[in-house]
């Protein structure tokens, strides 16, 4: 029987480094990386900040070529080579998935590193899009050493694999 989904996951700033965080998920606690500019209540495209907000976890992506699908209560979509994410303010596809070829600014989902091997889409500027308010804000895997992200929240793969079975479509990620 699957575990009951968590209502929320809390992301608190870690002491001593504005680019690091502590993730609290029920009784579980994990280290995390935040944006290179820390957190912001005034998120803007390209500022490198993680938005201070409560964001529903909508669905996720995973790299099928990097392992079996992770256990999850969320809809998980295998990443294909043609998948991109538009981060071009002013474009009608801003903060939406798009396909190759796409000539405007975008994020490649089939990254050369492992950051998007498991990548959860957060409802930041998605349900009610505002041009330039930030795009591609994900909950994904961290680099070694928990180096800063471009504005996302990132945790270790082993931690994401423990957490994923507890995340449902109503789970909120709350960045304080």
Q: For the segment 15-64, what is each residue's pLDDT rounded down to a tens digit?
A: 999 999 999 999 999 999 999 999 999 999 999 999 999 999 999 999 99
Residue 25 Cα distances to 8, 9, 31, 34, 62, angstroms: 7, 5, 11, 17, 21
- Walk across the sheet containing 106-108 and list its strands: 97-99, 83-86, 106-108
Please report the DSSP string for 82-141 in residue order: TEEEE--TTSTTTTSEEESS--S-EEESS-SSSTTSEEEEE-SSSTT--TTS----EEEE
Dihedral of alpha carbons 87, 90, 96, 99, sign: negative
* CB atoms near residue 75 (< 10 Å): 11
> What is the band of 159 on the pLDDT scale with cuts at 50, 70, 90?
very high
Q: Which two tokens stand for residue 174?
A: 């709350």
Q: Taking CA 98 as the corner, what is the angle to CA 73 and CA 165, rounded to the nearest 5 degrees?
A: 10
Predicted TM-score of the model (pTM): 0.96
Q: For the segment 61-114, what is each residue's pLDDT rounded down to a tens digit?
A: 999 999 888 999 999 999 999 999 999 999 999 999 999 999 999 999 999 999
Pair 139, 126: CB distance under 8 Å = no
Query: Percentage of the chain surpassing pLDDT 90?
Result: 95
């Amino acid at each position: 029987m699957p575990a009951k989904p968590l209502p929320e996951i809390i992301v608190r700033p870690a002491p001593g480094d504005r680019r690091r965080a502590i993730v609290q998920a029920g009784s579980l606690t994990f280290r995390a990386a935040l944006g290179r500019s820390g957190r912001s209540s005034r998120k803007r495209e390209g500022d490198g900040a993680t938005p201070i907000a409560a964001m529903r976890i909508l669905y996720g992506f995973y790299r099928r070529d990097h392992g079996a699908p992770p256990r999850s209560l969320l809809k998980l979509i295998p990443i294909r080579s043609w998948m991109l994410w538009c981060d071009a303010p002013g474009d009608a596809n801003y903060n939406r998935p798009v396909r190759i070829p796409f000539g405007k600014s975008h994020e490649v989902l089939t990254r050369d590193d492992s950051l998007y091997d498991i990548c959860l889409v957060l409802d930041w500027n998605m349900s009610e899009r505002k041009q330039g308010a930030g795009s591609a804000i994900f909950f994904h895997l961290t680099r070694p050493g928990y180096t800063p992200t471009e504005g996302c929240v990132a945790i270790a793969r082993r931690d994401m694999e423990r957490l994923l079975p507890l995340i449902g479509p109503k789970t909120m990620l709350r960045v304080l």
